[in-house]
Amino acid sequence: MSDASSLTSGVAGRYATALFEIANEASVLPAVEADLTALEAALGESAELRDLISSPIYTREQQSNVMAELIKQMNIGSEVGNTVALMATKRRLFVLPQLITAVKALASQARGEISADVTAAKKLTKAQQESLAKALSKSVGKDVTINMAVDESIIGGLIVKMGSKMIDTSVASKLSNLQNAMKEVG
């Protein structure tokens, strides 16, 4: 697992560290994580929202007003709401996705968990994810939370990334290795 300094570098990292420390001191970290998950879902569902936070054509006031209304409509807590408002006034909303990822990583680290990014050819069932998490936990000696992604181009198998470690058992990777081996022979 990466250390805290590598999790919080850059603009997003500074905001993430501040939000994490505020939430941790106020003992509202689970609520802040839930708010960030809701914001992450909203960003994932709305191309207009992604455009608003990343496009320079919107003024500071437009970004602030839209985000304030969104925070109000989504019933987001004051810790996250104030952070987003500050980011809007400083024109830093473009780092919101990275802030969400960094705060979640800091919270996982504080709980002694390790996050594993798992890519599969098709969505794993809940039971498969739990089994994989249990196997990974056994190998690293810490609780593992799984961030699931689907990429049909890997054909089959899994790609697991935990910190600086990567395990690639995908069929596409094996085919590529076989192709390279055959080139060396002939």
**Residue found by looking up tokens 């004051």 in the block:** 78
Confidence of residue 8 (pLDDT cuts 50, 70, 90): low
CA gap 149, 117 in Å, rounded: 7
Summarised one tens digit per residue, pLDDT across range 71-115 is: 999 999 999 999 999 999 999 999 999 999 899 889 988 888 888
Q: Which residues pair with 148 in a beta bridge?
A: 118
Cβ(106)–Cβ(7) below 8 Å: yes
Q: pTM of the prediction?
A: 0.69
Q: How many CB atoms lie within 10 A of CB 164?
A: 8
Summarised one tens digit per residue, pLDDT across range 139-178 is: 888 888 888 999 999 999 999 998 788 999 999 899 999 9
DSSP symbols for 105-146: HHHHHHTTEEEEEEEESSPPPHHHHHHHHHHHHHHHTSEEEE
pLDDT above 80 for 6 = no
| Sheet-wide strand order for 165-168 | 143-150, 113-120, 158-162, 165-168
Confidence of residue 9 (pLDDT cuts 50, 70, 90): low
Confidence (pLDDT) at 128: 94
Confidence (pLDDT) at 1: 39
User: For the chain, which domains are there?
Assistant: 4-108 (1.10.520.20), 113-185 (no CATH)
